[in-house]
Structure 1
Amino acid sequence: MLFSTQAEVKVTFPLEEDSWHGHATETLWAIPMGGHTYSLQNVPFFVVGVSRFDLVSAIKKDEQLVFQCLQGRSGHSTVRVVSAGGQKGFERLQTPITTLRDMGCEVERGNVADVCVYAVDVPTNVNFDAVIGLLDEMASRGGIDWEMGNDAHPD
């Protein structure tokens, strides 16, 4: 993989207009790799189809870098774990989030109104089936839900 000593920049991704979260765009931190290529550095909360460390193409429009296309996959996958109910939702997610971190996942937290959202990066060396199994088990108990943001792990 190429490496850069340049400072991180923000790449803007347009989102579906009628999404549950109500955001029109999401910005992700990225490292310029040369030309119009950028390496994504954080876990997407709402963008579908890309993951941490993927290579993307972006061009400048109206003083911001705007995503154009995926150029290369990192092999990482992204899932989102959500729980409504403000602080109670946050408390419900502590056990599965701790377990995901112990498994080797990178986790970032956000909030949308009273919904607690965790964006979870599943690196290539983490057992993806075990992650999905944990999330399915926790969802079956109630109080949390999860969705796939990007499945890049081999079958």
Structure 2
Amino acid sequence: MAGVQDMGEKIKIWFRFVPREGWFPQDTEGLWATKLSEDTARVENIPFLQDGVAEGDVVRYQTDSDGLHWAAGQVGSAGNCTIRVVPVPTGPLGGSPQAVHERLSPFGLGGEVFSSDFPMVAFTVPAGTDFAGVKALLAQGQTQGWWHYEVGCGTRELWDA
């Protein structure tokens, strides 16, 4: 039984998913989270692989016999979105994650780089961001060969922008 003193501790929540063809072979991703109750936690970092969840979302989890915490569903959305951007190595940005950050910096987005071998940048796009502007820049960058991108978690606010 978790005590009151355990609330607020950082734990790793594991997500299971079916690997995508031509993508990474992993079928799990661990995300840091802040424990809110015996079986809920708030996601504290950006998912690189898991779709349908964004930083700030609250998830329910179950703890297995090995002490691993496995996501069992989303409880609440923070209204944030997850966007992943991969710079084109032969494009104008030269595969630079820093250049991707610079292009998206006017929107104040926080992002994390997957690795130096694969410079995918995962961004949290907070609720209330200029979603139309972000979408226009992402489309422009893809058209001009700067990057490829995907929305890992979108909200109605993003889709309707």
Q: Secondary structure at the match of 2:51?
A: coil
Q: Quick one: structure 1 residues 27 and 74, their matched pair in 2 at CA, closer, same or farther if it must change by over 3 Å?
A: same
* Residue 153 of structure 1: how far off its partner (Å): 4.4
5+ residue gaps, structure 2, are 1-5
8 Å CA contact 1:85–1:115 kept in 2: the answer is: no
- What residue number does 1:15 align with? 17
Of residues 129, 132, 136, the one that matches 1:129 is 132
1:29-74 per-residue CA deviation (whole Å, 9 max, x = no partner) reads 1001112110000111111001010000011123210000000000
Runs of 4 or more, structure 1, over 6 Å off, are none
The percent identity for this pair of structures is 27
Kindly tell me: are residues 139 and 152 of structure 1, through their superposed partners in 2, closer, same or farther at Cα, counting changes over 3 Å?
Answer: same
Q: Deviations over 1:2-55 (max 9, x none)?
A: xx9622110001122345022221110100111211000011111100101000
CA distance in 1, matches of 2:31, 2:105: 21
Larger strand share, 1 or 2: 1
Q: 2:7, 2:37 within 8 Å by CA — same for their partners in 1? A: no
* Rounded Cα–Cα distance in structure 1 between residues aligned with 2:128 and 2:7: 26
More divergent stretch after superposition (19-28 vs 44-53):
19-28
SS at 1:116's partner residue? coil
Among candidates 83, 91, 100, match of residue 87 of structure 2: 83
**Alpha carbons 1:84, 1:116 under 8 Å: kept:** no
Report the count of equivalent residues: 149
When normalised by structure 1's length, the TM-score is 0.86
- Residue 68 of structure 2 corresponds to 64
Other structure's SS at 2:111 match: strand
Task: Say which one has the larger Rg.
Answer: 2
Q: Given that residues 57 and 70 in structure 1 are in contact (C-alpha distance below 8 angstroms), is that contact kept between their aligned partners in structure 2?
A: yes
TM-score, length basis structure 2: 0.83
